[in-house]
A and B are shown apart, each in its own frame.
Chain A
């Protein structure tokens, strides 16, 4: 259970269902950063992330009276946030746009593997302005499928099982996508760091 789920466990489902505004405000406080982060990673920009966060909570609050508690509150909210993020991406994408074009389709790995030992570089170097920009760029190059799994599992700290439940896909499918997402990100960052180290 991650930190958000632990905090969410203190909320009263009955109070939420009955529309208790203080309890709903507490729910928004607990989930607004995680939902915003997820939306930010999924959509790639702050404005869309803000819109997605608003839409997510509007839907959550509307649906709360019918929330039966069969799934965890966190799982349910993340599912709504993922759907809203995907809808936002569809809306903003002109036909034929390159946004969703993945370097290789989800089943293929034809890239050479970059071997550069950059893991021991100081964090100040790895997370300087350029380094952060590269992190954003690399994740934006992932397909939606890979990006979503990476964001839920590695950024939101959800388990493989929770990720599978939120996305309605099998556990082996989550594992396959996670492997591919991690390796693609590693590859892109390795190319960037090789070029950076060579130019020094």
Chain B
């Protein structure tokens, strides 16, 4: 990646940019650079996608049923197992 000063600035702010934590002025500056620089657009898009993929995977992860039962037994709360189901 042939990095310019603008590219380096974008890289150092990419996380804040994704989180919407940059000032409006800086945001306009970075957006203007993104219009010009395909490589930086790819880096932003793939960073967002990286976070999204982990997030998707994470939301599908649940404690296995056997581990849940063991947990309630260990905590001596097994009389409550199955009575309350979150979500």
Binding site for B on A (CB under 8 A): 7, 21-22, 24-26, 28-30, 32-33, 36-37, 40-41, 46, 50, 53-54, 57-58, 61, 112-113, 115-120, 123, 126-127, 131-132, 135, 139, 150, 154-155, 160, 175, 178-179, 182-183, 185-186, 189-190
Instruction: Give residues of chain B (5-59) contacting chain A, Cβ–Cβ below 8 Å.
Output: 11-12, 14-16, 18-19, 21, 39, 42-43, 45-51, 53-58
Q: Which residues of B contact A37 (CB under 8 A)?
A: 58, 61
Cross-chain pair count, CB within 8 angstroms: 126
Chain B, interface residues (CB within 8 Å), range: 35 or more
| A32: contacting residue among B45, B57, B58, B63, CB under 8 A | B63
Instruction: Give residues of chain B (45-87) contacting chain A, Cβ–Cβ below 8 Å.
Output: 45-51, 53-58, 61-64, 67-68, 70-72, 74-75, 77, 80, 83-86
Task: Please determine whether B43 and A33 come into contact, CB atoms closer than 8 angstroms.
Answer: no
Whole-angstrom CA separation of A22 from B72 in the bound complex? 12
Task: Please determine whether A183 and B71 come into contact, CB atoms closer than 8 angstroms.
Answer: no
Min CB–CB distance B6 → chain A (angstroms): 14
Whole-angstrom CA separation of A54 from B50 in the bound complex? 30
Task: Please determine whether A33 and B55 come into contact, CB atoms closer than 8 angstroms.
Answer: no
Task: Please determine whether B45 and A119 come into contact, CB atoms closer than 8 angstroms.
Answer: yes
Task: Please determine whether A53 and B67 come into contact, CB atoms closer than 8 angstroms.
Answer: yes
Given contacts A127-B53, A183-B47, 14 further A-B contacts (CB under 8 A): A25-B72, A25-B83, A26-B84, A28-B75, A29-B85, A29-B86, A61-B75, A113-B3, A116-B46, A119-B46, A135-B53, A154-B54, A179-B15, A189-B46
